[in-house]
Chain A
Amino acid sequence: DAGVIQSPRHEVTEMGQEVTLRCKPISGHDYLFWYRQTMMRGLELLIYFNNNVPIDDSGMPEDRFSAKMPNASFSTLKIQPSEPRDSAVYFCASSLELRLADYNEQFFGPGTRLTVL
């Protein structure tokens, strides 16, 4: 299994530019999560989807951030316009449907390191 795939691995852009991060979850997984990790704030959940439907986007910091999941094998996180404080590592993770008294282990992708100048 290829695992969770993210692209690009590194992105350097200038303030005000649009940034699009991409994620392909593990085939068959029902849930997809977008996280942001910084030294100051740690790993923060931005949004998650179940069967392609956004369930909780309360972690999305501002209207500049948006996420979509047009099908079961693809999701995007877009920042428009980008700002230097958006610099972070963005992780995508996926998991199977939660069963009673079980935990849906989240499998993380390699992350996208975003630098906004």
Chain B
Amino acid sequence: QKEVEQNSGPLSVPEGAIASLNCTYSDRVSQSFFWYRQYSGKSPELIMSIYSNGDKEDGRFTAQLNKASQYVSLLIRDSQPSDSATYLCAVYTGGFKTIFGAGTRLFVKA
């Protein structure tokens, strides 16, 4: 079982809709959780971090964490074509090691 699992997609949503990206992780001692966005041919960039159970909102992005279920998600409201990218879920388990999921490709149709 992979340590961080994501659906590879592609996830296709119409412009203006809510995109929901999901991630599960296997290590119960995981401390911190992150979403990175990676445009095609570019490097990953951090867009959201979450440390506690519940929701965290930043603009159109909402991260949700449920440690009991070992589940973290990212919601993108009012999706725009510019949101089309691969979204990497990342989990920090300590020792300065961050484990990345394989990513979910999101396509927002104009």
Within 8 A of A (CB), among B90-110: 92, 95-103
Verify B103–A55 contact, CB threshold 8 A: no
Number of interface residues of B (CB under 8 A): 20
Contact B43 A108 (CB under 8 A): yes
Asked if A56 CB lies within 8 Å of chain B CBs, one says: yes
Nearest chain-B residue to A48 (Cβ)?
B96
Which residues of A in the span 4-54 have a Cβ within 8 Å of any Cβ on B? 31, 35, 41-45, 48, 50
Contact with A along B39-54 (1 / 0, CB 8 A): 0001111100101000
Q: Quick one: given A42-B101, A43-B100, A103-B92, are A91 and B46 in contact (CB under 8 Å)? A: no
Per DSSP, are chain A's interface residues mostly helix, strand or loop, or mixed? strand
Minimum CB–CB distance from A39 to chain B (whole Å) comes to: 9
Q: Which residues of A sit under 8 angstroms from B98, Cβ to Cβ?
A: 45, 106
The answer to whether A105 touches B46, judged by C-beta atoms less than 8 angstroms apart, is yes
List A contacts of B87 (CB < 8 A): none
**What 1/0 mask marks residues of chain A from 40 to 80 whose CB sits below 8 Å from any chain B CB?**
01111100101000011000000000000000000000000
Given contacts A43-B102, A103-B49, 6 further A-B contacts (CB under 8 A): A42-B100, A43-B100, A44-B100, A48-B97, A103-B32, A111-B43
List the interface of chain A (C-beta within 8 A of B): 31, 35, 41-45, 48, 50, 55-56, 91, 98, 101, 103-106, 108-111
